[in-house]
Amino acid sequence: MRPPVKARRCFHEPVLPAPEQANTTGNRPGIASAVGYDARVADTHILSREAFDRLKAEHDDLTTRGRIEIAKKIEAAREMGDLSENGDYHAAKEEQGKMEGRIIHLANLIENAEIVEIVGDGSDLTVQAGCIVSIRYEGDDDVDKYLIGSIEERREGLTVISPGSPLGRALMGSAKGDTITFEAPNGDMNVAVVDIEI
């Protein structure tokens, strides 16, 4: 069953990117934990319709074709003899374990997904899940562009900011031209919102 689409200007529920996948800026000390994974996340996963459909298709594929193929690999490896020294068998079992872990993760995302669409256009557009925001850190001339949302959105070339991270929470609901303050590990930082895109 497809979850209903909810359209709002501001979202307060954080998303759940995998901790090992949380993006960092690298070039600014103390910013990494401000843009990536937040351990204090809720169960709701904010996703675009495109991301939800892609994750659902991946889950369906892994639970059908994926499981059948890995079962065949394991069976073929068993037929080779002694399992204690059977590299193919152990490799297939390891692959099976990783696949089952991914299936569990996908099932959780799908079950607890909240599908959102961006509200507003032009001058009315505010920072919200699913949008792309360009920001400038105080004292820096460079403009950085981020995607607000789940790591599962996978927009090529864009670093993801979780809405549940300190920077993400501070940005939510802000408009172009606003300056926001968020708590970074090294102290409060000011950020100017340069642009917002759909």
The alpha carbons of the chain give a radius of gyration, in whole angstroms, of 20
Mean pLDDT of 145-165: 86
Q: Which domain holds residue 126?
A: 8-42+119-197
pLDDT tens profile 133-154 = 999 999 999 999 999 988 888 7
Residue 1 falls inside a structural domain: no
Whole-number pLDDT of residue 122: 63
- Of 78, 94, 111, the domain-final residue: 111
* Spatial separation of the C-alpha atoms in residues 88 and 73, rounded to whole Å: 8
For residues 97 and 154, state if they share a domain.
no
Whole-number pLDDT of residue 43: 67
Of the spans 8-12, 47-51, 164-168, which averages the highest pLDDT? Answer: 164-168
* Spatial separation of the C-alpha atoms in residues 127 and 184, rounded to whole Å: 19
- Output 159 or 32, whichever has higher pLDDT: 159
> Residue 129: which of 149, 147, 115 has the closest Cα?
149
Residue 3 falls inside a structural domain: no
- Of 61, 79, 111, the domain-final residue: 111
State how far Cα 154 lies from the chain centre. 7
Tell me how many domains the chain contains: 2
Residue type at 108? N
Mean pLDDT of 33-40: 44
pLDDT at 33 over 50: no
- Output 46 or 2, whichever has higher pLDDT: 46
Mean pLDDT of 40-66: 85
Whole-number pLDDT of residue 40: 36
pLDDT at 182 over 60: yes
- pTM of this prediction exceeds 0.85: no
For residues 155 and 102, state if they share a domain.
no
pLDDT at 28 over 60: no
- Of 71, 89, 111, the domain-final residue: 111
For residues 64 and 104, state if they share a domain.
yes
Angle between helices 87-111 and 67-78 (to 10 degrees): 160
- Output 44 or 74, whichever has higher pLDDT: 74
pLDDT at 170 over 60: yes
Angle between helices 49-61 and 87-111 (to 10 degrees): 140
Residue 60 falls inside a structural domain: yes
> What's the distance, Cα to Cα, between the start and end of the chain in Å?
27
Whole-number pLDDT of residue 34: 52
* Weakest-pLDDT range from 47-51, 105-109, 117-121: 117-121
Residue type at 115? I
64 CB-side CA count, 13 A = 6
